[in-house]
Each structure stands twice: as structure tokens, then as C-alpha cells.
Amino acid sequence: MNTCAATDIGAKRTSNQDFYFCSDTPVGILPNLYIVADGMGGHNAGDIASRFCVERFTELVEKSRERTPIQAIEMALKTTNEELIAKANGQKDFEGMGTTFVLATLLDDGSALIANIGDSRLYLINDGIRQITQDHSLVAEMVRNGELKKEEARYHPNKNVVLRALSTQNVVSPDFYRVKVHPGDYLLLCSDGLSDMIEEVEMQKLVNEYEDVEDITRKMVALANENGGKDNITLILIRM
């Protein structure tokens, strides 16, 4: 297994509110752990939210006594969300802050367990490319309801409206997914700063053209910036 992670401020932003965690070694009950979080909020609140949630979540998983990976993830996210609310309580600058959260862990049975909240994504790339997670966003909901075509969603004015996040508003639950992975498969976790700037076909093309995960990662960040770099860009690329 080869992994590479990167984050970039992008071409338009003045601060980076994304945060990631990448460990090929066990974290508590989890055999490995990969997380991408995209912070939201005014001033530096988004930066604080993404960093706090990733760091606190990993601490809780490390100490967890839950018996299954899903239980450990669920309880750690719930506690992290509750502590984020407490952290923001009474601090005006933190009002409305939050973060998306997508994670993956590769289990011993040859499958990947994935959880997500928000619109950061996980893709499975092999002979094709498939988005495994579902965006918790307004336009994604409109696409699922047949109100909007997928190709129209990319440029919709409300495309960045997130309907579910780890935030100061309420405690939310993640969606879980489980997929089989095989030698040569890639898992790509990313913030919308990458997925908004690079078409899925371009992601797969880069994977096909370059073998080294570091080369692919650098090329993806560069292409996202070449295409506008409108947001912070963060990704973790894992090759089985």
C-alpha cells in the first residue's frame, strides 16, 4: 500500500481551512486511518473547526474501547461534535463554524470502511472512477430528487451550500459505506477544492498516466490550481 497526502491554499484564498490526517499504522481499533476535513466559518473559525475535529477525533479513536470500527467511529464523531459545540459556546467569532469530514480505514478482510459528513468525497479508481460517498449538499439533494442534472450541479450558484456538517448547530451522524478493494485500486479522499476544479475523467487520466502516488498527487494539485484554484485543495491518495 502506497499513500500520499497534500494540502494547498489554492489560487484565490488567503488562508487554508482544510486539514487532514494520514496514518498507515493502527489508530486504536482501526488498522489505519485517513481523514480529510474542510472547515467552514468566518475569520479563522473554519481552520479551527477542521483542525480541532480531526485531532480530537483521532485522540478519541485511539482511546476507544468500542468493539467494532463502526462503533468507535460513531462514538468518536458524536463526542467530537459535542465538544465542538461546547468550544464555540459564547464565542462570537466561532458562531456557525463547522467542518466536513470524510474518512477511510482499510480493514483486514480486503474492504475499505468509509464514513462521511458534508461534501468532501471519496472516490474508488481502477478501470473507471466511482464516487463512493454522497454529498450532503443542496445541489446534490436536488440532483437526487431529479430537480437538477448532474452536469448542471457543478456550476450551480448554491453548489457550496452544505446540509450536514460537524458544526455548532447540532450533533449529526455520518453515512457509512463499505467497498471491496483490490491490488492496483486507488482510493482518493478530497475536499471540494479538488473535486470542483478537476473533472472525474481528468482524475482517472492522471492515475492512468503516472504510477507514483506522489507524482499523481502533485499533478492533481497543480491541475486544480491551473483550472482556477478557487478553494483550498486537499487530498489523500492510496494505492492498494
112-117 mean pLDDT:
98
pLDDT in tens, 20-58: 999 999 999 999 999 999 999 765 699 999 999 999 999
- What pLDDT score was predicted for residue 170? 87
Q: Is pLDDT above 70 for 150?
A: no
109 burial type by CB count under 10 A (0-12 exposed, 13-18 middle, 19+ buried):
exposed
C-alpha cell at 170: 447540532
Pick the more confident residue, 132 or 167.
132
Position 159 confidence tier, pLDDT thresholds 50, 70, 90: low
Banded model confidence at residue 162, pLDDT cuts 50, 70, 90: confident
* 83, pLDDT greater than 80: yes
User: How far apart are alpha carbons 125 and 233 in whole angstroms?
Assistant: 19
Question: pLDDT at position 112, please?
Answer: 98
Q: How far is CA 72 from CA 5, 61, 78, 102, 220, in A?
A: 24, 6, 10, 15, 32
Question: What is the model's pLDDT at position 194?
Answer: 97
Q: What pLDDT score was predicted for residue 42?
A: 63
pLDDT at 156 over 60: no
pTM: 0.93
Question: Is the confidence at residue 102, as pLDDT, over 80?
Answer: yes
Q: 143's torsion region: left (phi>0), alpha (psi -120 to 50) or beta?
A: alpha
Categorize the per-residue pLDDT at 152 as very low, low, confident or very high, splitting at 50, 70 and 90. Answer: low
Q: Which of 43-57, 84-98, 151-165 has the lowest mean pLDDT?
A: 151-165
Mean pLDDT value of segment 138-142: 63
DSSP assigned state of 146: T
H or E element that contains 197: none
Residue 147 in this model has a pLDDT that exceeds 70? no
